[in-house]
Amino acid sequence: MKRQILRRGLALLLTAALVLPLAACGPGDPATVQSRFDAFTEELFLGTMSSDFTSSLYFLEDPAAFGIDRSQMEVSVGTPDTDENFTAAAQQNRALLDTLHRFDRSLLTPEQQDTYDLLEWSCNISAASYEDRFRYYGSYFSNLSGVHTGLLTTLSELQVSSESDLARLPELLESIPPYFDSLIAYTRRQQEEEVLTIDFDSVIEVCDGVVAAGEESAVLQNLLAQAEGLGLSEEEAAAYQAKIRQAFLENFIPAYQAVADALREMQGGFNNEEGLAALPDGQDYYTILFQAATAVDESPEEVYQQAEERLSSAFSRLGGLAFLYPDLYNGWLEGVYETDFSGYEEMLAFLTGAAADFPAVGELRYVIDPIPEDVANSGVAAYFVNPAVDETGPLRIRVNTENTAELRAPGTYMTLAHEGIPGHMYAASLFYQDLGSNFRKVLGSQTGYNEGYATYVELHALEYLEGGEIPDPVLEMERLNAEMSYALVTMMDIDVNYYGLSREEFTGQYGSYFAEGFADTYYDLMRLEPTAYLSYYVGWMKIEALKEQAEKALDDAYTDLGFHTALLRSGSVPYFIVERNVQSWIDSLAAPAEAA
C-alpha cells in the first residue's frame, strides 16, 4: 500500500499545526474551549486547502468564500520525498499532537471529542511510521494504489470553475517531473537498502500505456475540456488549450517515460519476492499498516482467528444450502441467476427506495459515467468521487465497464450499492449534512471505516432482492461466497505479510481454494499490496460482529434502522468510536426494558 496513506494524509494537515501553538490556552470555560477547538480544526482544513492546489480544486468550489485565493498558491501534484521533507513531516506530526493535547477533552462536545480521538489516533500511527528504521518501507509504485495510477485518476477527474484556475493547469503538469524524480530516487534507495517489493512489469506496462496513448489520453482530454463552459471566447479557450497540451507533452508524458526507463534499469537488482515479514523490520511495519488500514484495536493474530471462524461458518452454511437445494446451487455456480435491472441508474433508483433501514438523507443528484479505458485499473470495479464541501453540482460515480460487463450479475448490483446507495455516496452525503466540521468532512475521513462500511452494505443490499427474480437461497449463496472470499483474503494477507508464509507454504495451505496455477497470482497480490484489501474486509467483520452483539443484547428491540443510525452517528472514524456509539444505543434501549 502506498506510503502516503500513513504520511501524506496527515502531512496535508500539518501546515496549520505549527501556527496554532497557543490555540487551546486560556480559561477552562467549555464554551471558550469548544470555540477554540472549532477554530483549530477549521484552521487545519483551511491550512490544507490553501497549501494544496489540487485538493483545493477538488474540495472547494468557491475558494473566495473560505478566504482562499488559489491564484497565489504554489502549484504541485505532491511533496517530493526527501530526507528533509521526511524529517519536517515527522516534526510537524509531533507538533500537531502537542497542540491537540493542549485541549481539555472533557470540555469538548461529543462531536468534538470524536474529532479529538480521531486526530490523536491518526497522529500516533503516523508517529510510529516515522521511525528511522521504516524510512524506506512502503512503495510509491504499487499496483493498485501507486502514484502512477492515482495521478491518472486525479487528473482525469479534475474540474476547474474559473479562468484563473484554468491558467494554472500547465504549472500543475510542470510539477510532475521533479515529483516523479524524487519517487524514482526513493525507489532506487529502497533497492540499495534491500527493502524494495515491486511488480516491475506491471508498473512499466501502465507507464508505457500512458506514453503510447499520447494526446489521446483521457487526462489530456479532461484538462482540455476545462477551457469550455467558462465564458471564454474561442480564441481565448484555444490559447489555454495550446498551453495545456504543450505542458502535457513536455512534462506528463516524459515523466511516465522516466519511470518506465528507471524501472527497466532496476529490474536486475534486488526485489523482495516474499511478503513484508521477509524484510528486517517488516513485521513491525506491517503492524502499523494494519492499524492504519483497518482502524480496529485487534491485533493481526486476533483478526486472523476471527477470519478463520467466519470462513468455517460460511463454508458450513454454504454446504448446507448445497445439500438442501442442489439444483439452485448448480445454477448459482453456472451463473444462471440474474437481476432484472437494465442499467446502473435503475439499480440506484431501486436502492434509494429499498434502503429505508438507513437514516434519511434526502434526494441525491448524481451522474454515473464509465471510467476512461486508459485510466481504468483492472482491480477497481467503480469509485465514488468525494464532493467539495460546497458542492453544487451532481455527485459523481465512475464505473469500470470492463469489470461490470455482466450488467445483470448480482455482483454489479452489489458494486452500485457499495459505491452509491447506501454506500459511499449516501454516507458522504449524510456526513456532509450532519457534521459541522469541514475538517471532518474532507480530511478526517478514515479508510478502514469507509470501506468496511461499504462492504457491509453491499452484502446487506442483497436482502432487498429477497422475494424477487433470484431465489432467496441463491442470494444467501451469493452472500456466503462473498464472506468466504473476504475471510480468505484477510487470512492470506496476514499469513504472507505478518507470519511470513513462503510461496511454497502458501500454495500448500491455500492452493485448494484456487484454480490450478492461481496460487502464485494470489500470493503476489498479497505481497505487493500488504493490507490493501483489509480496509474492506476487516472493517466488514467488525461491523458484522457489532451487529451480532446488538441483536443478541436487544432481541426484539433490535432494528436495522437503529443499528445503522448508531453505525453512522460519528461519521468516518476508527472503530473504537463506532463501538461506543453502538454500545450507547444498546444501553439506551436496554435501560427502559430493565426498568420495566
Among residues 481, 480, 482, 343, the alpha carbon closest in space to that of 408 is found at 343
CA dist., res. 250 & res. 175, Å (int) = 11
Q: What is the pTM of this model?
A: 0.93
Mean pLDDT of 168-195: 97
For residue 385, the cross-strand partners are 396
Write down the pLDDT at residue 18. 38
* CA–CA–CA angle 307, 460, 526 (5° rounding): 35
Which residues, other chains included, contact 98 with Cβ-Cβ below 8 Å and sequence gap of 6+?
none
Asked if 257 and 213 touch (Cβ cutoff 8 Å), the reply is no
DSSP 3-state percent helix, strand, coil across the chain (nearest 5): 65, 0, 30
Write down the pLDDT at residue 25. 45
Mean pLDDT of 243-268: 98
Q: Could you give the C-alpha distances from 335 to 1, 316, 321, 408, 477, in angstroms and in order? A: 33, 21, 16, 10, 12
CA atoms within 13 A on the CB side of 518: 7
Q: What one-character-per-residue DSSP string does 89-130 give?
A: HHHHHHHHHHHHTTS-GGGS-HHHHHHHHHHHHHHHHHHHHT
In which region does residue 517 sit, left (phi positive, over 0), alpha (psi from -120 to 50) or beta (all else)? left
Share of the chain above pLDDT 70, in %: 93
Asked if 510 and 488 touch (Cβ cutoff 8 Å), the reply is yes
Neighbours of 373 (CB within 10 A): 12
Mean pLDDT of 411-425: 96
CA dist., res. 413 & res. 344, Å (int) = 8
Residue 7 clears pLDDT 80, i.e. is over it: no
CA dist., res. 142 & res. 135, Å (int) = 17
Mean pLDDT of 395-415: 86
- Helix intervals (H) in 437-533: 438-442, 447-460, 472-494, 503-510, 519-528
- Residue with the bigger pLDDT between 2 and 524: it is 524
Residue type (1 letter), 452: G
Question: Worst-scoring range by mean pLDDT, 206-215, 286-295, 373-382, 413-422?
Answer: 373-382
Residue 319 clears pLDDT 50, i.e. is over it: yes
Write down the pLDDT at residue 555. 95
Which residues, other chains included, contact 117 with Cβ-Cβ below 8 Å and sequence gap of 6+?
573, 574, 576, 577
CA atoms within 13 A on the CB side of 154: 21
Q: What one-character-per-residue DSSP string does 147-194 give?
A: HHHHHHHHHHH----SHHHHTTHHHHHHTHHHHHHHHHHHHHHHHHTT
CA dist., res. 301 & res. 499, Å (int) = 9
CA dist., res. 172 & res. 178, Å (int) = 11
Residue type (1 letter), 346: E
Write down the pLDDT at residue 21. 40
Write out pLDDT tens, residues 458-500. Answer: 999 999 999 999 999 999 999 999 999 999 999 999 999 999 9
